Structures are given as C-alpha cells and as structure tokens.
C-alpha cells in the first residue's frame, strides 16, 4: 500500500505532535527521586550541592578553609564511587560533608522517610548515665533504667560516631546527642556495622545488666512525645493561640493569689516562627519598663549572590542607616561599619529591633511571679529571638542548655536526582556588642543536662548550689540528676533517698522536657 503525499504529511505531523507532548511532560512534570543513583546522577547531585554552598552558605564564606575541605571530601566521594549509590548512603555522605561547615542549621532529609532507620526511644543524660525512655515517656525497664550498650558496643562508641555529624556548637549538647543516638542506621554505617531492622539494647541498674531487642521504625513514623503540662511547667506548642495565652494567664493568676507565689517555667523550644500573641503577653507581664522598646536585638549579614534582595531574605531586618544617629554611632564603634566591611561576600549590616505596640501594663507582674524560659539546643529561629529579648527583662531568666545559634535566614534546596532536601544558613547574626551569635548560641542562667569540658566541669555548681538558686528565685522545684521535677512536696527528698537505697529510680525521675 502506497501512501499519498497528504498521508505522509499527516503521519509526520502526528509524530511531531507526539514528540512535543513528550518533551513538555519531561520539562514540566515533577522529577521522580530515584532510590538508586548511577554515577552520573550521583556526580550531578554532589556538584549541584557544592555550587549551592559556594553561592549561598554564610558559614562557608566565613571559613574558606572549611569550604576547601568540603571540596576535597566531595572529590574523594566521587573518586571512590562505584556502580550505584543508594539515597540513604548519599544522605549520610552529604550529612558528613555539611558537618564541616559547623552550621547548626544544617538539615539533610530524605524525600520519603520510609526506611526503618530510627531507634524508637527517648534518651536523657542525667549527668552520669544515659536513661532510656519509651516514646510515651515511661522507662523501658524501671528496674534497669540506664542504657550502657547498643548492639554490643558501649554508648561512648556511638557518641563518638555521632560527633562527626554535629556542628561545633552542638557537640556538648546532650539534647543533640540524644537525637543523633536514635539515627541508628546512619551511625552503623559510620562504625562499620551491618544494617538490621532490629537493635539490641543493654540496660543496667548500675550493677547487673539485661538485654532488650527493639525494632527500628521509619523516622516519619516517630511520634513526638508530648510531655503534659505540670503545675509550674507550661510547654507551648509551635503555634501559640488564644487558648494557650488563656492558660498562661490562669497559671499566672493562680500563683499570684497563692500565699507563697512560686515561679513559672515556660517551655518555648517548639516555637520556630514569629508569635505576636506570645510576645505581646510577655511584654505585658514581664516588661514593666521601656528597656526593650525600640531596642536592637541583633545585627545580621546575609551571603551575597546574584539577584539577592534584602526584603526577601531578611524581611524582619532594617538597614543600619535607618537607626537614630546615636545608635548608628554606637554600633559603628562596635565594628558594624558598612564602609569598613572587608568581606565582600556578605551584605551590609542589617539590624533586627523589637518595637512592641503600646500595651497597658498588667497588674500581674514578674516581680510577684518570677518567670523562667526553658531552652536547649533545639531552640532555634524565633525561640532564640525570644530568648535574646528576655535578656532585657530583669525578672526573666533562661533555664536548660545553650541554644543552637541558628536564628539567621535559611537557604533550602532539593537535589535533582535523589530528591534529598537540604537546608543551611544563608546569613550570620551578631549580638549588638559585636560578638558572633550564629553557631554559638545563648547560655542559660541555670544550666541543666549539658556536658561540659574538664575546665568548665570544675566550675559546675553542686546540687546544693543549684537548689539554692531555685529557692532564691522563688522556684519551688527539685533537681533530680539533671532533671527538674515540679512537685512542691516536703516529702520529696526522703522519697528520693528511699528509692536510691533500694537501688531503684523513683517514678518522679521522668525528665523535664
């Protein structure tokens, strides 16, 4: 059968239309992440990340030597790569790569968190031992509370493996260490152990041991333990609403009406985004002076890149030139002079101020009910801004661990082939006195749980000293190990001593936070 000229033309036109449709689909349809990457895909993802770090990472611009080290490690990964590389393996390599930045904001997440890789426990360090809890906050075994080994290896070996993934400011944080100890699949690769969907835990009472086997779970299915509010400890959610404010008012009023007013601890660690209702409440009840009105909280520079715009990267900041002359001069004398800024990789200095609206002072003041804000290394972004603001409130103090030092603008990207989602800092933040805040954090007045260096350990307050700090500030709490218990009961100490003589931990020793 012979085709006519018209038939050949129509067939050719049909092929062109089909080709155009396929090209359109490939161009606009979302790329599907691959679980196994060939060498070309693996190379493309790593090179893309290196380019993004060079353009957007503030910590890479701050420490060029670390960026050179990152490039060297990446070259070694590419050289050693053979055949196919799994998503999970690439995630571990990228986490190790980015840890060289010492950036507390770094996150490396798989697109589909379905791999069984996480140990379903909550771990807490009591100053000497690691205590193992279930996700519901109960002991895994009340008679054997201490975790001594995982898969037959001492807990110190797992901590050593986790250090390579922690930023410098987080290496002494027991909160960050506890989180990484649950990333068992990744730590096994670091140590050189084979993958397994089970973990063997060795639990101790200080003398004898037992072993328990636990099945690993996918990180996406790890429920976050919701600690209930206690009489003196209120845990705020990520988004504070009117109901939460009403609860704060109730507890504050109850303490004010008490014959012996106690202090109130507000746990703000879950807060990551601006919470105007909470800031208005704090300003109303604890900021009885004008100390924080129109005050500079921090100074920031973002990493320059093509098409960078301050109003998009740092919308909550203003130019230093918008300040009053005296305040500009003060900041310039502390080193924040745009004309003398030697590092062209960064923008001009920007400032973030706190300028609350006029609020009617409350009759319930912090002089009557002292307030403590609970923070640790998980406190970042808006949580840290609130912690910074509290430095201007004389009647408010911080309790917990040093914060992460992650409160600048963030840069996020998704790698094209693996679909791995990555985040790191795009700016550096400084305190108004000229000290670097990013990657350093804010130390609390009353430290809990934090491991210290040998030099710092010599200066650590004794249990009696810390208890006296509590009493002097009206804080009717008891410190057990490194955990706070909200139970103003005169029989508490005798109960603790009785349990210790029996070689057991009291049920009161559930961790604060």
- Residue 82, SS3? coil
Is 464 a member of any domain?
Answer: no
Q: Is the pLDDT of residue 444 over 70?
A: yes
Residue 78, in any domain of the structure: no
- Domain identity same for 161 and 275: no
Cα–Cα distance, 328 to 353 (Å, whole number): 13
CA-nearest of 126, 125, 42 to 90 is: 42
Are 275 and 383 found together in one domain?
yes
Q: Concatenated DSSP letters for 355-404?
A: -PPP-PPPSS-TTTS-EEEEE-TT--THHHHHHHHHTT-TTEEEEES---
| CA–CA separation, 410 and 390 (whole Å) | 24
Asked whether residue 359 falls in the same domain as residue 246, the answer is yes
DSSP structural state of residue 303? B
CA distance 198 to 214: 6
Lowest mean pLDDT segment, chosen from 15-29, 84-98, 377-391, 436-450: 15-29
- Count of structural domains, the chain: 2
Same domain, 263 and 355: yes
- Considering the domain boundaries, does residue 403 fall inside one? yes
At residue 490, does pLDDT exceed 50? no
Residue 260: predicted pLDDT: 63
Q: Which of 426, 454, 482 is the last residue of a domain?
A: 454
DSSP 26-48: HHHSPPPPPSEE-HHHHHHHHHH
Name, in order, each residue with C-beta under 8 angstroms of 428's C-beta and a sequence gap of 6 or more. 58, 59, 62, 300, 301, 346, 408, 436, 438
Q: Answer yes or no: do 350 and 375 share one domain.
A: yes
Nearest to 377 by CA among 201, 173, 177: 173
State the residue range of the domain holding 399: 233-454
Neighbours of 442 (CB within 10 A): 19
Same domain assignment for residues 261 and 174: no
What is the mean pLDDT of the segment spanning 443-447? 87
pLDDT for 493 equals 34
What is the radius of gyration, based on Cα positions, of the chain? Answer: 27
Question: Which pLDDT does position 217 carry in this prediction?
Answer: 86
pLDDT, mean of residues 399-411: 91
The token duo for 433 is 């006195």
pLDDT in the model for residue 310: 64
- Is pLDDT above 50 for 301? yes
Give the end of a domain, one of 170, 196, 225. Answer: 225
Per-residue pLDDT tens over the stretch 190-244: 898 988 889 999 999 888 999 999 888 877 555 555 554 455 678 899 999 999 9
What value, to the nearest 5°, has the Cα angle with vertex 473 and ends 471 and 476? Answer: 45
CATH code at 431?
A: 3.90.226
Could you tell me if 188 and 278 lie in one domain?
no
Q: Identify whether the C-beta of residue 253 lies closer than 8 Å to the C-beta of residue 285.
A: no
Same domain, 214 and 265: no
In this structure, is residue 106 part of a structural domain?
no
pLDDT tens track for 112-169 = 766 667 899 989 888 788 999 988 878 899 899 999 999 999 999 999 999 888 888 7
Is 470 inside a domain boundary?
Answer: no
Largest CA distance in the chain: 105
225 and 135 Cβ atoms separated by less than 8 Å: yes
- Tens of pLDDT, residue by residue over 73-123, are 999 999 988 888 888 889 989 998 999 999 999 999 888 766 667 899 989
CB atoms within 10 A of CB 501: 8
CB distance 289 to 395 below 8 Å: no
Q: Are 315 and 438 in the same domain?
A: yes
Q: What is the pLDDT of residue 463?
A: 46
Residue with tokens 């503030």: 58
Residue 164 forms part of a structural domain: yes
Taking a C-beta distance cutoff of 8 angstroms, is the pair 172, 377 a contact?
no
- Structural domain ending residue among the three candidates 434, 454, 474: 454
What gap in Å lies between CA 269 and CA 215, rounded to an integer? Answer: 29
Q: Is 34 contained in some domain?
A: no
166 and 258 together in one domain: no
**Rounded-to-integer distance, Cα 90 and Cα 87, Å:** 5
Q: Do 358 and 405 share a domain, yes or no?
A: yes
Angle at 148 between CA 144 and CA 149, to 5 degrees: 120
pLDDT of residue 44 exceeding 90, the answer is: yes
Q: Assess if residue 64 is contained within a domain.
A: no
pLDDT band at 35 (very low <50, low <70, confident <90, very high): confident
Q: Which two tokens stand for residue 422?
A: 């990555």
Q: Residue 198 sits in a domain of what CATH number? A: 2.30.42.10
- Tell me: do 306 and 376 sit in the same domain: yes
């Amino acid at each position: 059968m012979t085709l006519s000229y018209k038939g050949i033309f129509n067939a050719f036109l049909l092929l062109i239309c089909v080709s155009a449709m396929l090209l359109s689909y490939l161009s606009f349809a979302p790329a599907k992440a691959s679980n196994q990457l060939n060498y070309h895909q693996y190379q493309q993802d790593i090179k893309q990340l290196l380019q993004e770090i060079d353009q957007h990472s503030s910590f890479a611009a701050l420490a060029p030597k670390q960026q050179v080290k990152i490039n060297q490690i990446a070259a070694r990964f590419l050289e050693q790569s053979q055949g196919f590389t799994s998503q999970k393996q690439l995630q571990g390599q990228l986490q190790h790569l980015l840890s060289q930045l010492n950036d507390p904001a770094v996150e490396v997440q798989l697109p589909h968190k379905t791999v069984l890789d996480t140990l379903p426990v909550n771990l807490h360090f009591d100053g000497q031992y690691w205590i193992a809890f279930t996700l519901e906050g109960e002991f895994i075994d009340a008679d054997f509370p201490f975790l001594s080994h995982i898969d037959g290896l001492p807990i110190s070996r797992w901590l050593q493996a986790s250090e390579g993934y922690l930023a410098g400011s987080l290496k002494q944080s027991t909160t960050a260490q506890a989180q990484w100890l649950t990333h068992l699949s990744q730590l096994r690769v670091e140590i050189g152990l084979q993958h397994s969907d089970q973990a063997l835990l060795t639990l101790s009472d200080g003398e004898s041991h037992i072993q328990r086997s636990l099945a690993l779970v996918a990180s996406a299915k790890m429920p976050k333990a919701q600690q209930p509010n206690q009489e003196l400890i209120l845990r705020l959610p990520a988004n504070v609403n009117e109901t939460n404010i009403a609860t704060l008012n109730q507890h504050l009023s109850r303490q004010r009406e008490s014959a012996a007013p106690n202090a109130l601890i507000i746990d703000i660690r879950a807060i990551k985004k601006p919470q105007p209702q909470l800031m208005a409440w704090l300003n109303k009840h604890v900021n009885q002076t004008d100390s924080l009105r129109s005050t500079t909280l921090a100074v920031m520079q973002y990493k320059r890149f093509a098409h960078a715009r301050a109003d998009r990267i740092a919308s909550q900041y203003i130019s230093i030139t918008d300040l009053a002359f005296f305040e500009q001069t003060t900041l310039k004398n502390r080193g924040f002079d745009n004309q003398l800024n030697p590092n062209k990789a960064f923008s001009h200095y920007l400032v973030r101020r706190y300028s609350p609206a006029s609020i009617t002072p409350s009759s319930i003041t912090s002089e009557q009910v002292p307030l403590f804000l609970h923070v640790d290394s998980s406190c970042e972004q808006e949580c840290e801004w609130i912690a910074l603001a509290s430095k201007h409130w004389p009647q408010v103090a911080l309790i917990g661990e040093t914060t992460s030092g992650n409160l600048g603008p963030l840069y996020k990207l998704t790698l094209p082939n693996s679909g791995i989602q990555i985040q790191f800092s795009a700016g550096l933040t400084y305190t108004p006195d000229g000290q670097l805040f990013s990657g350093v954090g804010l130390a609390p007045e009353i430290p809990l749980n934090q491991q210290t260096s040998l030099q710092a350990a010599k200066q650590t307050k004794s249990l009696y000293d810390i208890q006296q700090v509590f009493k002097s500030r009206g804080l009717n709490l008891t410190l057990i190990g490194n955990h706070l218990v909200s139970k103003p009961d005169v029989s508490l100490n005798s109960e603790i001593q009785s349990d210790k003589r029996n070689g057991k931990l009291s049920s009161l020793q559930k961790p604060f936070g």
